[in-house]
Amino acid sequence: MDFSLVTGLSETAVSSKRYLSGIAKMFYDEGAAAEMLKEGDSLVYEFYELGVPEEAGEIAFGASITYPGKVGKEFFMTKGHFHTVLETAEVYYCLSGEGGMIFENPEGDVSFEEFRPGVAVYVPRRYAHRSVNTGDAPLVTFFAFRGDAGHDYGTIETKGYRKLVVEAAGGGYELIDNPKWKGE
């Protein structure tokens, strides 16, 4: 997808792509992921950054595209992260697609906010955040956060999220406990 067409932002944005092979262990149904990988390696999400200096007085911004798809019953999602500077917030604005953002803080409070075009979602400080595409089209969001916030992916890579977003029996989505969660 051409970022500049989606957002109208700079054509100099740098893209990072995350394929299923690199994040398969984050989905709870690793068997389903292995079966999918036999057919090829799906692009699950990508994000674009504008190279703003990583300093407290700056606002880093860019766009995230989470593609539609599922691993077993679990919807395609981003890895999710805390900010290295935990006390820094962020805002996401949904440009197209549908889905949501799942949050959790170190104390175990969990919440979910829906994305649809034109909706802004605020990420409170201290909360890990992960985008989930529950629809049939790419979920495209614009994001902005304090320039020096940094990204802590390791905590989620190690422990996982407490809750996962899966397809519900009657359609739509539901949150379930993560059977692979390795918290306290």
* Residues forming the site for Mn ion (CB under 5 A): 90
Residue 53 Cβ, how far from Mn ion at the closest point, in Å?
17
- In this structure, which amino acid lies at residue 141? T
Residue closer to Mn ion, measured from CB, 26 or 36: 26
Backbone angles phi, psi at 156, to 5 degrees: -70, -40
CB of 18 to Mn ion, least distance (A): 15
The CB-of-89 to Mn ion minimum distance in angstroms stands at 9
Q: Which CB atom, from 90 or from 98, has the smaller least distance to Mn ion?
A: 90
> Other CB atoms closer than 10 Å to residue 163's CB: what's the count?
19
Contacts of 51 (CB under 8 A, 6+ apart): 12, 14
Residue nearest to Mn ion (CB): 90
Q: Is 90 or 104 the residue whose CB approaches Mn ion more closely?
A: 90
Distance CA 50, CA 37 (A): 31
The residue (of 31 and 124) whose beta carbon lies closer to Mn ion is 124
Task: Give the helix ranges, DSSP H, for the chain.
Answer: 3-7, 20-23, 30-39, 154-159
Smallest gap from Cβ 12 to Mn ion, in A, equals 21
